[in-house]
Amino acid sequence: MIQVTVWNEFRHEKTNKTVQEVYPDGIHGQLAKFIGEEFTVKTATLDEEEHGLTEEVLAETDVLIWWGHMAHDEVQDEIVNRVHQRVLEGMGLIVLHSGHFSKIFKKLMGTSCDLKWREDGKNCRIWNVNPSHPIVEGVGECIELEQEEMYGEHFDIPAPDELVMVSWFPGGEVFRSGCTYRRGNGKVFYFQPGHETYPSYYNEQVQRVIKNGIRWCAPTENVYPSYGHAQPREEI
């Protein structure tokens, strides 16, 4: 059974009434609810000791989900380095929506990860541009969301290893909304929807993509390589 940890900064939900109404159990609560249908899941939040991401928790995590927005700077560098190391060792990481600006995503990408945005309550169409990819299995041609924040190009990320989805917005913008990367032994998946005041994590196709993403990101049986000084395999 794949073990998933859902990390949420859990700040909007404490102060914003609209967000409380959309996500009464927190964004992490809603994510954990549908993820728990198929995987073992626990949650962790910013205000917990070590942000809930202790060595023990990370050692038991196959795939970490990351949602953050207003408090990226409050995430301690020590914890970011710890997550980074686990990704290099093989832990999967799914970065959602405004997590594009998280310290961990920027560290893994090495670019600004900046983009255009507009919160206008308009719709969004997330096109499946890689139909044979396991992340979009069962999703169909596109996902229609009645409301989602506009995220537009240019998205300052390295060219994705695989581009899986591209989003269209009524303002004429497009956005690379489903991107995969490999870093060390780990797999990273960025997925755009999930603005805190819109109910995107109740959409079954969005849920499907996240669940498929968990399966894709989960570590393989491959052993993390050893580095450094090495004994010869032959007598020399």
Q: Which residues bind Zn ion (CB under 5 A)?
A: 98, 149, 195
Long-range contacts of 203-210 (CB under 8 A, 24+ apart): 203/143, 203/145, 205/139, 205/140, 205/143, 206/143, 206/145, 207/34, 208/137, 208/138, 208/139, 209/135, 209/136, 209/139, 209/143, 209/165, 209/178, 210/31, 210/34, 210/35, 210/65, 210/94, 210/96
- Work out how close the CB of 142 gets to Zn ion at its nearest, in angstroms, rounded to a whole number: 20
- Work out how close the CB of 198 gets to Zn ion at its nearest, in angstroms, rounded to a whole number: 8
DSSP label of 97:
G
Residue (91 or 95) nearer to Zn ion, CB: 95
DSSP label of 50:
G
Residue (62 or 149) nearer to Zn ion, CB: 149
Residue (45 or 61) nearer to Zn ion, CB: 45
Residue (2 or 65) nearer to Zn ion, CB: 65
- Work out how close the CB of 195 gets to Zn ion at its nearest, in angstroms, rounded to a whole number: 4
- Work out how close the CB of 60 gets to Zn ion at its nearest, in angstroms, rounded to a whole number: 30
Q: Which residue is nearest to Zn ion (CB)?
A: 195
